[in-house]
Structure 1
Amino acid sequence: MNQITLHRGDLPAGLDFGPVVAVDTEAMGLNPVRDHLTLVQLSSGDGTAHLVQLTRDFNCPNLKALLTDPKTLKLFHFARFDITMMQRWMGITCAPIWCTKIASRLSRTYTDRHGLKDVAREVAGIDLSKAQQSSDWGAAELTDAQLQYAASDVLYLHQIKAGLEAMLVREGRMELAEACFGFLPVRARLDLAGWADEDIFAHS
């Protein structure tokens, strides 16, 4: 049985997530300039999830320390969005990073279905519900359904990473994936600076 703990404002001091922590975020929308960050979810991959409901002053030193710790790998699905939101609202650069969506695009080239639900089903045999994805994440009291949904986005990422990592190694694309992961903080800066929809590497 998975365990979910909700923290208001910040993580308590002393929690140990190990060398790899799965991370996800919820926000009031998909526009990082307009829509503020509301929730950060974390899991060490052991069946427990810690959810931090953020205050609008983003005074969360313990959470920020974890997300910027160079010794802790932060594991995301579609890290580009999450770390852009963290740069915009928490004022931090989250690193180092591993992104299962990028890993899926580089390894699962036989499909165009790289959303977490599809990747989780194929790689880890997990059927995730996305029913609460568009709910009100700024509510003072989150529902049990919201908490379960938020936790599910991090509880299985370690398992998914293991499957995708094996595929990347098999296809000889691990080094390329790691280079992409390293570029993500710069990609987030470009998004916030106004180049979210423009490919600066394109010829025209």
Structure 2
Amino acid sequence: MIETTAALEDACAKLAQSDFITIDTEFLRETTFWPQLCLIQMASPTMEVLVDPLAKGLDLKPFFELMADRKVIKVFHAARQDIEIIHHLGNLVPHPIFDTQVAAMVCGFGDSVSYDQLVQRTTGAHIDKTSRFTDWSRRPLSDKQLEYALADVTHLRDVYAALKAQLEREGRAGWLTEEMAILESANTYDIHPDDAWLRLKARLRKPTELAIVKFVAAWREREARSRNVPRSRVLKDDAIYEIAQQQPKDTDALSRLRTIPKGWERSASGTAVIEAVNSALTLPKAEMPHAPKPTRSPEGTGAAVELLKVLLKLISDKEGVAAKVIANSDDLEKIAAEGEGADVAALHGWRRELFGDTALKLISGGVALRFVDKKVEAVEL
């Protein structure tokens, strides 16, 4: 277990000599806005290390420098949360990266294969998962916890080697480029408070309601970040929806809302919410957010989407690529409604070659689906 900056610097220098390293982190975030980093696991083909970021006086600068080293491929499984932590603490996004979960989808292991399933299917090894939900912030960590944590990166070396070889053998190495570019972009992790309302699922359509949701959600986001508490600890989603619908302009009106705890309206938070509501209501109508107008799809689009789903499943199974990597439901609806004019990933690059061209032929009558010998097949007309 590395607990000093000098030991970390030495380990990172040795790891940097490898073409790739595998990385995983253990963290807690149930009671905080920002994840609390509790353990870092790294491995190269010749060494493995555990780093205690909670050790007194430990400076993670050598680790962040390794993450920024473009000569070393950083291998993660389901990388987004690990990268989010690194981005928050080190103000950087690791480059270059290889996400084995995405690679596994391209290699035919299903839509979201778990790490232990992937290890078992590629290496035959079994991982003891009993330590997965332990408290990683408590010290000392048990030998069982450390063994579990280290297994996350030692097995990942073999998984990476197997997936990399399969991608190269099948000529699909370039297929990961687009997905990795998204994970390597700082914009993926920089969510501005003013955009926080876009994460909410309220079925509100009036511009004034949407403006209030936007302003109150932005206040909640800033408050949660500054206090480092979960958003729901500041104000629940249901309360934001009710505030947007009832539009309380003073604390008395706020106190009458069902979702507001008794007395909360007299707090500094209650005052801030009232200010947010009144600010939203003073916006010029032209500056208020608008819900997108529902588009009426051409007649027959629904049936065309169902045919495209069958075609997608057919090609996904045949080529051994997870369907959701090729196209999602929105892609299929846009292809069915707009044809060649649909601006979707499924009509670009390798996805078009694999699926998009055939999909366009299907909806234009150039390809048919038929059921033969208990299976569906696509035939050119």
How far does the alpha carbon of each residue in 1:140-163 deviate from its partner, in whole angstroms, 9 at most, with x for none? 311111110110000021211121
1:197 and 1:108 map into 2 onto residues whose CA distance is: 33
Is contact 2:87–2:189 with CA below 8 Å preserved after alignment? no
Q: Which runs of structure 1 show a deviation greater than 4 angstroms over 4 or more consecutive aligned residues?
A: 194-198, 201-204
Distance 1:58 1:96, change over 3 A: farther
Is contact 2:101–2:112 with CA below 8 Å preserved after alignment? no
1:8 and 1:189 map into 2 onto residues whose CA distance is: 32
Q: Percent identity?
A: 24
Matched, 1:107 2:103: no
1:181 and 1:32 map into 2 onto residues whose CA distance is: 28
1:197 and 1:176 map into 2 onto residues whose CA distance is: 32
Matched, 1:190 2:185: no
Quote the residue 1:3 is aligned against.
none
Tell me the CA shift for residue 43 of structure 1.
Answer: 0.4
Quote the residue 1:36 is aligned against.
36
Distance 1:55 1:124, change over 3 A: same
Matched, 1:166 2:165: yes
Matched, 1:14 2:10: yes
Quote the residue 1:125 is aligned against.
124
How far does the alpha carbon of each residue in 1:61-83 deviate from its partner, in whole angstroms, 9 at most, with x for none? 11111111111111111111111
Matched, 1:134 2:133: yes
Residue identity matched to 1:190: T
Residue identity matched to 2:71: K
2:31 and 2:163 map into 1 onto residues whose CA distance is: 29
Tell me the CA shift for residue 12 of structure 1.
Answer: 2.8
Quote the residue 2:325 is aligned against.
none
Residue identity matched to 1:126: A
Distance 1:172 1:33, change over 3 A: farther
1:67 and 1:165 map into 2 onto residues whose CA distance is: 20
Question: TM-score of the superposition, structure 1-length normalised?
Answer: 0.82
Q: Which stretch shifts more, 29-38 or 87-96?
A: 29-38
Is contact 2:21–2:44 with CA below 8 Å preserved after alignment? yes
Tell me the CA shift for residue 128 of structure 1.
Answer: 1.1
Is contact 1:113–1:119 with CA below 8 Å preserved after alignment? no
Is contact 1:75–1:98 with CA below 8 Å preserved after alignment? yes
Distance 1:197 1:170, change over 3 A: farther
Aligned length: 194
Tell me the CA shift for residue 179 of structure 1.
Answer: 2.8
Tell me the CA shift for residue 31 of structure 1.
Answer: 8.9
Quote the residue 2:26 is aligned against.
26
Is contact 2:9–2:63 with CA below 8 Å preserved after alignment? no
Tell me the CA shift for residue 185 of structure 1.
Answer: 2.5
Tell me the CA shift for residue 112 of structure 1.
Answer: 4.3
Q: Secondary structure at the match of 2:21?
A: strand
1:197 and 1:31 map into 2 onto residues whose CA distance is: 20
**Unmatched 5+ stretches in structure 1:** 1-5
1:102 and 1:196 map into 2 onto residues whose CA distance is: 23
Distance 1:168 1:145, change over 3 A: same
Residue identity matched to 1:54: P
Residue identity matched to 2:116: K
Q: Secondary structure at the match of 2:45?
A: coil
Instruction: Output the aligned Cα RMSD.
Output: 2.9
Higher relative contact order (CA 8 A, sep 6+): 1
2:152 and 2:4 map into 1 onto residues whose CA distance is: 20
Is contact 2:22–2:153 with CA below 8 Å preserved after alignment? yes
Is contact 2:43–2:49 with CA below 8 Å preserved after alignment? yes
1:45 and 1:13 map into 2 onto residues whose CA distance is: 18
Q: Secondary structure at the match of 1:24?
A: strand
Distance 1:9 1:128, change over 3 A: same
1:125 and 1:28 map into 2 onto residues whose CA distance is: 30
Distance 1:74 1:152, change over 3 A: same
Tell me the CA shift for residue 197 of structure 1.
Answer: 8.7
